[in-house]
Amino acid sequence: MNNPLHSEFKTPFKSAPFSKILPKHFLEAIPKNINDSLKLINLISEQDQNPTFENTIVKLQNSNSLLARNTSLLFNLNSAETTSELQNITQKIASELSNYKNDILQNERLFERIKYIFFDSDKSKLSQEELTLLEKEYKSFCRNGALLSFDEKQKLRELDETLVLKSLDFGKKILEDTNTYFLHIQELKNLKGLPNSSLNYAKQLALRKKLSGWVFTLDAPSYIPFITYSEIRSLRKRIFDAYSMRGFNNNNNNTVEIIKNIVSLRKERSKLLGYKSHADFILEERMSLSEKNTINFINNLYEKSFPFAKKEWEKLVFFAKKNYGINHLEKWDIAYVTEKYKKSLLKIDELELKKYFSLDKVLTGLFKIINKLYGLSFVLNNDIDRYAESVVVYEIYDEKNNFKSLLYVDLYPRKGKREGAWMTSYLGQKENQRPHISVVCNFPSPDKSKKSLINFQELKTLFHEFGHALHGILSNTKYENLSGTNVLWDFVELPSQIMENWCYEEEALNIFARHYKTNNQIPKSLIRKIKKIAQFQQGIQTIKQLGYASLDLSFHTKNIDKIKNIKEHEDQVLRKFQFIKPSKNHCLSCSFSHIFQGGYSAGYYSYKWAEVLDADAFEVFLENGIFNRKTAKKFEKTILSKGGTEHPMKLYKDFRGKEPDSMSLFRRAGLI
**Is pLDDT at 149 greater than 70 in this prediction?**
yes
* Range with top average pLDDT, 411-415, 558-562, 570-574: 570-574
Average pLDDT score over residue span 195-219? 94
**What does the pLDDT average to over 2-20?**
96
pLDDT tens track for 95-132: 899 899 989 988 999 999 999 999 999 999 999 999 99
At 358 the three-state DSSP class reads strand
Q: Are 144 and 110 within 8 A, CB to CB?
A: no
Say what percent of the chain tops pLDDT 90: 90
pLDDT at 561 > cutoff 90: no
Average pLDDT of the residues in 481-504:
94
**1 pLDDT exceeds 80?**
no
Catalytically active residues, by annotation: 465
How confident is the model over 217-230, as a mean pLDDT? 94
User: Quick one: pLDDT band at residue 415, thresholds 50, 70, 90?
Assistant: confident
CB 232 within 8 Å of CB 240:
no
**pLDDT tens-digit map of 568-612:** 999 999 999 999 999 999 999 999 999 998 788 999 999 899 899
pTM score, whole prediction:
0.86
- What's the distance, CA 330 to chain centroid? 29
Domains of the chain: residue spans and CATH? 4-105+107-143 (1.20.1050.40), 181-233 (no CATH), 256-352+538-601 (1.10.1370.10)
Mean pLDDT value of segment 52-62 = 96
The stretch 522-531 carries a mean pLDDT of 93
**pLDDT per position as a tens digit, 451-466:** 899 999 999 999 999 9
Cβ neighbours for 481, distance < 8 A, ≥ 6 positions apart: 61, 133, 136, 644
> In whole angstroms, what is the distance from residue 502 CA to residue 369 CA?
9
Phi, psi of 150 (to 5 degrees): -60, -50
394, 379 Cβ separation under 8 angstroms: yes
- Residue 559: the pLDDT is 85
Instruction: State the average pLDDT over residues 140-167.
Output: 93
Residue 23 has pLDDT above 70, yes or no: yes
The DSSP-derived string for 590-601 is GG-HHHHTSS-T
> What pLDDT shows up at residue 440?
97
pLDDT at 450: 79
Q: Report the residue count for the chain.
A: 672
Q: At 216, which helix (H) or strand (E)?
A: strand 214-217
Judge whether 529 and 347 are in contact, CB under 8 Å.
Answer: yes
| Average model confidence (pLDDT) across the chain | 95
For helices 538-554 and 606-624, the axis angle rounded to 10 degrees is 140
Give the C-alpha distances (Å, rounded to integers) separating 57 from 36, 53, 128, 141.
18, 5, 14, 12
Q: What is the mean pLDDT of residues 42-63?
A: 96
Q: How far apart are CA 130 and CA 112, in angstroms?
A: 18
- State the CB neighbour count (10 A cutoff) for residue 625: 12
Alpha helices (H) in 106-211, listed in sequence order: 108-119, 128-142, 150-180, 196-208
pLDDT band, residue 447 (cuts 50/70/90) = confident
Q: How many whole angstroms separate alpha carbon 267 and alpha carbon 281?
A: 9
Q: Is the separation of the CB atoms in 14 and 430 below 8 Å?
A: no
- The CA distance from 73 to 426, in Å, is 6
As a whole number, mean pLDDT of residues 69-88 equals 95
Q: How many helices (H) and strands (E) does the chain have?
A: 27, 7
Per-residue pLDDT at 205 exceeds 70 = yes
pLDDT at 208 over 80: yes
- CA 567, CA 584: separation in Å to the nearest integer? 8
